[in-house]
C-alpha cells in the first residue's frame, strides 16, 4: 500500500470556541512542537495532532490521533451526509482570482519547473494535459487543498478529493475543446482588435497571450514581452480596459512568484533586490539591472497595472517583515538602505502603500537591526568606548517603534555602565576634556532623541555621573584653576565648560559653576571687575544667567 503521510494540528482556543485546522505539516516532531506551543499560548484551549495517511489504491485517508492535550479531548466531527461541496464546482470557477491564488500555492513547484503561471495553465490545453499526465503531482496538490477545505467544512477529506479530481478532469476536457486564438504578429493592439468579434473576447485575448508566451522559455523574456504589450496598448488601444486588465493579470501572477521576479533583477543580496523592486514599483528603471526589469518599471509607470503594482508591493513588504537581513556583513549599508527605502515608499499613493503598513514593516526591520550580533558588529568599528556611546545615540535616529527604542536604550545603558568605559574616561592626560566632551555630546543627543521620557532621564543622569567621576579622577577643574591666568578669566573658563559642550549638564555643570563662584568672591576678582575695560563683565553676566537657567 503506497501512502502519502502528513500531520494535521487542530486548535480550540477556549471551551466555547470551535475547533479549526491550525496547520498541516509533513514532519511529526514539528507538528508535536507546534501543538505544545499553541497550548502554551491558549492555556484554556485544547489541541490535537492527527496523522493522515493517504492510500492511493483505495483513494482514501486513514486518520489516527497521535497527540491530545487541553481541557477537552475529542475526535474531529464529520458531517453525516458527507455532501459538502468545495468552493469551486465548475471549471469556470477556476478563473476567479482567489482560485488562481490557491492553484499557485498548491502547484508552485510544478509551475516553477515548467516556467509558467496559472493563467497560462488555464488557457493552454497542452499544459493541462501535461499536468494530468503527472498524476502524482496533481493528486498531491488536490490533497493539500482538500485537507484545508475538509477541516473548514467538517466533512470527509476523501469526498473533497473526489470532487476536486472530477473538477480538474472537467477543466482539462473543456480546455481541450475550447477554440484558442493566436497572437497577431502585428502586435497586441492588432490582437485585441481581432478578438473583439469572438463569443468570449476576454478568454480569447488571454489564450492568445498564453499561446505567444509558450514560445518564450525564461521569466525575463515573458515579462519583457508583456511589458512591451503594455507600451503597444498605450499607443494603439486607447482606453480599452479589457486589454490592460488581461496584461495586468498575467504580469501580476508572474510578479507574485518570487522565482520569476528574482530572475529579472541582477542581485544576490536581499538589500539589492529590494532596492531594485522599490525602483520598479516607483516606475523608475533600476540602474545596472536587466532589460526586463527596466521594461517592467516603464510599464508600471503607465498607471494601468494596479494588480501588478499591488503584487510587487506585497512582495516588498513581505521581505521587509521577514527575518532575513538586507546586508548581513554590512551594517552601515543596511541602515542607509532602510532610510532610502522608507523615503521612496512613503511617496507612493496611500492606496498602494498604507502608512500603517509602512510603519509596521520598518518597526519589524528596526528590530532586526537590534539583534545582539548586529550591535556587536556596529560597536566593533568604534575606536574607543566614547565612540561606542556616540554611535548608539546617533543610531537611535534610524530606529522606529517604542519597544525597539527601549531595547536600544538598554544597550546604551550597558555601554555607559561598563568597566572599560569608566576606565577609558578616567584615563586622564592632556586629552581629558575631549573624553568629557563625548559624554556632553551624547547627553545632548539623548535629550533630543525619541527615547521615552523615563529612558531620557535615566541615560542623561548616567552620562552625567560618568562625566562627574571622570572629571574628579582626572582633576580637570583643578587643571584650569592651576593655569597662569587671572582668577576672573579662570572663572569664565569654568562657566564656559557646560556652555561649550565640554561637560554634561547636571552635577558636572553645577560643580564647575560652584568652583567659579568661589573664584568670583575673591578680592582680586572684585577689583578686576571694577577696572574691567575688555567687556569681561558682560560676558560673565551672560554666563551666570545661563548657569542659573
Q: What is the 3-state secondary structure (H, E, C) of 457-524?
A: HHHHHHHHHHHHHHHHHHCHHHHHHCCCCCHHHHHHHHHHHHHCCCCCCCHHHHHHHHHHHHHHCCHH
Q: Quote the CA–CA distance of 8 and 51 in Å, as a whole number.
A: 7
The answer to whether 364 and 320 have CB atoms below 8 angstroms apart is: yes
Q: What angle do CA 329, 332, 334 make, to 5 degrees?
A: 70
Termini Cα distance of the chain: 88
Give start and end residues of each alpha helix (H) in 20-116: 28-41, 97-106, 108-114
The full set of domain ranges for the chain reads 3-70, 229-369
Question: Side by side, which strands form the sheet with 3-12?
Answer: 20-25, 3-12, 46-55, 60-70
For 61-83, the pLDDT digits (tens) are: 677 788 888 876 544 455 555 56
pLDDT score at 56: 59
Cα(123)–Cα(178) distance, rounded to whole angstroms? 9
What does the pLDDT average to over 117-124? Answer: 90
Per-residue model confidence (pLDDT) at position 536: 61
The reported pLDDT for the residue numbered 154 is: 65
Under the banding of pLDDT at 50, 70 and 90, the label for residue 249 is very high
Report phi then psi at 304, rounded to 5.
-105, 5
Q: Is the pLDDT of residue 531 over 70?
A: no
Residue 236: what pLDDT? 78
Residue with cell 507574485: 256
- What's the rounded Cα separation, in Å, for the pair 274 and 295? 17
Q: What is the DSSP letter of 91?
A: G
pLDDT at res. 540: 64
- Residue 503 confidence (pLDDT): 84
Q: The pTM is what? A: 0.72
Residue 367: alpha-carbon gap to chain centroid: 10
Q: Are 218 and 116 in contact (CB under 8 A)?
A: no
DSSP state at residue 186: T
Is residue 17 over pLDDT 90? no
Specify whether the backbone of 152 is left (phi greater than 0), alpha (psi in -120 to 50) or beta. alpha
Of 358, 367, 360, the residue nearest 407 (C-alpha): 367
Amino acid at each position: 500500500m503506497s501512502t502519502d503521510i502528513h500531520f494535521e494540528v487542530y486548535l480550540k482556543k477556549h471551551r466555547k470556541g470551535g475547533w479549526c485546522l491550525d496547520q498541516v505539516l509533513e514532519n511529526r516532531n514539528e507538528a508535536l512542537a507546534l501543538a505544545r506551543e499553541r497550548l502554551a499560548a491558549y492555556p484554556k484551549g485544547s489541541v490535537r495532532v492527527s496523522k493522515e495517511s493517504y492510500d492511493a489504491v483505495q483513494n482514501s485517508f486513514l486518520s489516527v490521533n497521535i497527540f491530545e492535550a487541553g481541557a477537552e479531548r475529542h475526535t474531529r466531527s464529520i458531517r453525516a451526509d458527507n455532501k459538502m461541496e468545495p468552493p469551486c464546482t465548475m471549471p469556470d470557477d477556476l478563473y476567479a482570482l482567489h482560485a488562481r491564488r490557491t492553484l499557485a500555492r498548491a502547484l508552485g513547484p510544478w509551475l516553477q519547473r515548467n516556467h509558467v503561471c496559472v493563467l497560462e495553465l488555464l488557457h493552454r490545453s497542452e499544459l493541462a494535459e501535461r499536468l494530468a499526465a503527472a498524476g502524482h503531482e496533481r493528486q498531491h496538490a488536490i490533497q493539500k487543498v482538500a485537507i484545508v477545505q475538509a477541516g473548514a467544512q467538517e466533512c470527509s477529506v476523501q469526498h473533497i478529493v473526489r470532487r476536486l479530481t472530477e473538477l480538474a478532469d472537467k477543466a482539462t476536457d473543456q480546455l481541450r475543446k475550447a477554440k484558442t486564438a493566436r497572437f497577431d504578429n502585428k502586435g497586441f493592439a492588432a490582437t485585441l482588435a481581432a478578438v473583439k468579434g469572438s463569443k468570449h473576447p476576454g478568454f480569447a485575448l488571454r489564450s492568445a497571450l498564453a499561446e505567444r508566451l509558450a514560445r518564450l522559455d525564461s521569466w525575463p523574456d515573458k515579462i519583457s514581452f508583456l511589458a512591451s504589450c503594455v507600451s503597444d496598448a498605450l499607443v494603439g488601444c486607447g482606453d480599452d480596459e479589457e486589454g490592460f486588465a488581461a496584461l495586468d493579470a498575467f504580469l501580476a501572477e508572474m510578479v507574485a512568484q518570487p522565482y520569476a521576479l528574482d530572475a529579472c533583477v541582477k542581485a544576490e543580496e536581499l538589500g539589492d533586490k529590494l532596492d531594485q523592486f522599490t525602483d520598479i514599483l516607483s516606475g523608475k528603471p533600476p540602474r545596472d539591472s536587466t532589460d526586463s526589469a527596466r521594461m517592467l518599471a516603464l510599464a508600471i509607470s503607465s498607471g494601468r497595472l494596479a494588480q501588478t503594482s499591488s503584487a510587487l508591493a506585497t512582495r516588498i513588504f513581505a521581505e521587509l517583515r521577514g527575518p532575513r537581513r538586507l546586508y548581513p556583513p554590512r551594517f552601515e549599508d543596511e541602515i542607509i538602505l532602510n532610510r532610502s527605502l522608507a523615503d521612496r515608499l512613503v511617496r507612493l499613493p496611500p492606496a498602494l502603500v498604507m502608512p500603517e503598513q509602512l510603519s509596521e514593516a520598518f518597526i519589524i526591520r528596526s528590530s532586526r537591526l537590534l539583534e545582539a550580533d548586529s550591535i556587536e558588529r556596529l560597536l566593533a568599528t568604534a575606536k574607543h568606548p566614547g565612540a561606542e556611546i556616540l554611535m548608539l545615540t546617533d543610531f537611535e535616529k534610524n530606529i522606529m517603534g517604542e519597544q525597539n527604542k527601549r531595547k536600544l536604550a538598554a544597550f546604551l545603558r550597558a555601554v555607559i555602565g561598563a568597566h572599560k568605559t569608566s576606565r577609558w574616561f578616567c584615563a586622564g592626560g592632556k586629552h581629558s576634556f575631549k573624553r568629557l566632551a563625548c559624554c556632553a555630546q551624547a547627553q545632548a543627543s539623548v535629550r533630543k532623541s525619541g527615547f521615552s521620557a523615563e529612558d531620557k532621564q535615566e541615560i542623561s543622569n548616567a552620562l552625567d555621573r560618568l562625566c562627574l567621576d571622570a572629571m574628579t579622577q582626572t582633576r580637570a577643574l583643578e587643571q584650569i584653576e592651576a593655569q597662569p591666568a587671572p582668577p576672573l578669566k579662570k572663572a569664565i573658563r569654568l562657566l564656559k565648560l557646560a556652555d561649550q559642550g565640554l561637560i554634561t549638564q547636571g552635577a558636572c555643570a553645577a560643580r564647575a559653576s560652584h568652583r567659579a563662584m568661589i573664584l568670583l568672591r575673591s578680592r582680586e576678582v572684585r577689583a578686576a571687575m571694577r577696572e574691567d575695560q575688555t567687556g569681561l563683565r558682560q560676558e560673565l553676566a551672560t554666563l551666570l544667567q545661563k548657569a542659573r537657567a
